Structure formats: C-alpha cells, structure tokens
Amino acid sequence: MPDSRLPDARQILAAIPSPAILVGAADEVIGANGAALALFPRLRLGEPLWAGVRAPGILAATTAARGGGARAVEHIERVPVERHYAVQATAVPDAEGQVLLLFRDRTSELAAERMRTDFVANASHELRTPLASLIGFIETLQGAARNDANAREKFLGVMGDQARRMARLIDDLLSLSRIEMSRHLPPSTPVAIDGVVREAVDGLRMVAMDRGARLEASIAGGPWTVAGDRDELYRVIENLAENALKYGREGGRAEILVRPSAQPLGEGRAVEIVVRDDGVGIAPQHLPRLTERFYRADVRESRQKGGTGLGLALVKHIVGRHRGRLDIASELGKGSTFTVTLPLLP
C-alpha cells in the first residue's frame, strides 16, 4: 500500500526550481512545473511533447532515454533573450515509458567561461605587444645600432617605457586578482574619505602640471567616514582623477566633489565622490562596457597615455567590495562624470 505521506508527481515537479517536464509513454505531457511552462508557453498537459517543445534534440533524447539510463542534450532558447540549457532526459523507474526532463540553465556559467577565455587572450595580447617591441629594440641594439650612441639612447628610452607598461599591467592584474578573491569580505576599518581625496589630489599635482591642467577638490561638510580599505579607496580616487587629467582638455580643469548622496544606499546615509573632466566625452555605446577588463573606447589613445585597460575594472571591483555603486555619465564635447557612492558609517 502506498505511503500517503509521499508527495505525488505534481507536488514533486512543483518543488523543483528549474524547468521540469514529465513525459508519458506516448510522448504526451503528463506533468510540468511553472518554470517549464514559462520556458515553453505552448506546452499543454495531455498534448504531445513536440507541440510545446519545438526542439528535435530534446525529443530524440526523450525517446533514447526509454532505452535505459539517461541522455543529455544542449538546448538554446533565443526568445526573449538567449539562454543556454543542459537538458537531462531520464527514464522514470517502475513507470513504463515515462521520462523526466530536467533543464539546467547554463547561461551564466558559459558567460563566465567566455570571460575567462577572453581575459587570458586579452592579457596575453597586452603583454605580447610591449614584449615584441622590447625584443625588436634589443635585436637592433645588438646589430645595426650597436655603435650608434644617439640611437642607443633613444631606443633605451622607448624600452624603458615598454618595460614600465608591462610592470603596470602585471601590477593591475595582480591587484584585480587579489580584490576578486576578497570581494565577499567587505572591509570594516573606518576611513575618512575627505582625507583620502586630499591625499590623492596632492599626489597628482605633477600629473596636472605636466598637462597644464588644474585639479581641484571641493568637500562639502564632513568628516565623511566609511568602512573601507584605505589603500583601495585611494586607488579608486587616484585612478578616476588621473583619468580626468589625462582625458580632459590640455590646460583644462578636473574636479573632485565630496558631498552627501541624495539617495541612500541600503538602509543608511551615503557619500558621493564625483570626478569630472572637461574632455571630449565618451560615445553612449561605449558607456555600458567601460568597466570591462581591457575594454577601451579608444585603444590607441589609451595606450599612448599609458593605460592598461584595467583601471576602471579595478575601480568597479573595489567599489563593489565596499558595497558601493559606480555611475558613469558622459556627453560628447562636454566631458565625463564618474560618481562613486559609498555607505557611511553610522
């Protein structure tokens, strides 16, 4: 006699969070949970599986599973957005001809794999370029320019620049790796943001002088104290302010504003660090991707200015670790604004 405490098939299907379909011996649908009905809107109980699931691979796996064991197949849904599923078709024991279809969403997993592959390829490319340049200059100095003092001096200067570029890239890669490893551990040390801003402005005086530009800080009220890692927050402000100087107008003005946020972050008050430049601005299509690793709106200009392509990725990850938010706005011909919002300590 069956145990009345055991749930029936419908209850079991309903408890499964991912799409699940129970198929009968005649390929009719005898059960489906809400996730499956959302994925396949044409699916109807009592009707053939093929009427609701227009995927030959899934239908073939269902038939094959009746021969024993389980069958796996990949399925891609392209509407309304592309999603990738691993589908497992398993014969139900002691239920003649019935097959259970389970769908596992692999979209995020595959996207992460693509990101890792792209990251390795991009990092290799970014290192290969200055390395190839170094090798070329070394071979030239060993050959035709061996006894040319002027050429040697010029080439050594370029080689030094390329070596420093590689060092910056490696430093950024190591920093990004370290921050990602600790992203689930929010820092807890009290840090006065106004002090970090003043220190960053002082540290960038020479960069501003080289550009003939002005870097100004305006701090409203304060002190503004957040829970943070001081070195990481310094890096955020330094990176954004240095970019504002590099990509702003020559002889122009970059500014950092520290002010209370008009919108709370979470349940408490927040502070905004706003960094503005007066440069050419960034085209709208580039804005959503600016914080991707190695993404550049202008590859040539970024490299000429010593960029590694990782600066804004570092900023995004540091701000995320501090449970903050990064917003980017830009208008062509008028400049760009980067706003970091951080929760204040009570």
CATH of the domain at 64: 3.30.450.20
- Give the 3-state secondary structure of residue 149: helix
pLDDT of 306 strictly over 70:
no
pLDDT of res. 23: 95
- Do 36 and 91 fall into the same domain? yes
Average pLDDT over residues 93-113: 89
Give the residue-averaged pLDDT of 41-51. Answer: 94
Question: 139 and 202 share a domain?
Answer: no
Of the pLDDT bands very low, low, confident and very high (cuts 50, 70, 90), residue 308 is confident
pLDDT of 303: 54
| Domain match, 213 and 323 both | yes
Tell me the average pLDDT of the chain. 87
At 5 the pLDDT is: 59
57, part of any domain: yes
Same domain, residue pair 344 and 293: yes
Residues 246 and 148 placed together within one structural domain of the fold? no
Nearest to 277 by CA among 257, 253, 258: 253
**Domain presence at residue 112:** yes
Segment 213-227, tens digit of pLDDT = 999 999 998 789 999
Q: 101 vs 291, which has greater pLDDT?
A: 101
pLDDT at 277: 92
| Residue-level pLDDT at 301 | 56
Q: Of the given ranges (139-153, 181-195, 220-234), which has the lowest mean pLDDT?
A: 139-153
Which residue has better confidence, 130 or 58?
58
Pairing of strands 190-192, 29-32: unpaired
Shared-domain flag, residues 233 and 277 = yes
User: Could you tell me if residue 281 is inside a domain?
Assistant: yes
Angle between helices 311-321 and 149-181 (to 10 degrees): 20
Residues 148 and 197 in one domain: no
- Is residue 54 over pLDDT 60? yes
Q: Are residues 289 and 335 in the same domain?
A: yes
- % helix, strand, coil for the chain, step of 5: 45, 25, 30
Which of these three, 181, 200, 227, is where a domain ends? 181
Q: Which residue has the tokens 């950092």?
A: 256
Predicted confidence (pLDDT) per residue in 253-305, tens digit: 899 999 999 887 777 889 999 999 988 888 889 888 888 888 877 655 555 55
Residue 213 shares a structural domain with residue 263: yes
In this predicted structure, what is the pLDDT of residue 87?
95
- Is 189 a domain residue? yes
Domain membership flag for residue 11? no
Going by C-alpha positions, the residue among 198, 236, 243, 193 that lies closest to residue 216 is 198
pTM, two decimal places: 0.64
Residues 100 and 61 in one domain: yes
Residues 197 and 312 in one domain: yes
Q: Are 268 and 341 in contact (CB under 8 A)?
A: no
Q: What is the DSSP string of 256-280?
A: EEEEE-SS-BTTB-EEEEEEE--SS
> Which DSSP state fits 249?
-
Query: What is the CATH classification number for the domain harbouring 140?
Result: 1.10.287.130
In tens, the pLDDT along 194-206 reads: 999 999 999 998 8
Top pLDDT among 186 and 7 is at: 186
Between residues 162 and 33, which one has the greater pLDDT? 33
Number of domains in the chain: 3
CA distance 206 to 216: 13
Residues 160 and 208 in one domain: no
Final residue of a structural domain among 105, 123, 146: 105
**CATH no. for residue 235?**
3.30.565.10
Domain assignment of residue 9, yes or no: no
Is residue 64 one of the residues assigned to a domain? yes
Asked if residue 193 is part of any domain, the answer here is yes
Question: Structural domain of residue 267, as residue ranges?
Answer: 185-346
Q: In angstroms, what CA-CA distances link 75 with 34, 58, 86, 104, 207?
A: 18, 8, 6, 10, 53
- Of 181, 196, 224, the residue that ends a domain is 181
Mean pLDDT on 80-92: 90
pLDDT of 118 above 80: no
> How sure is the predictor about 174, in pLDDT bands with cuts at 50, 70 and 90?
confident
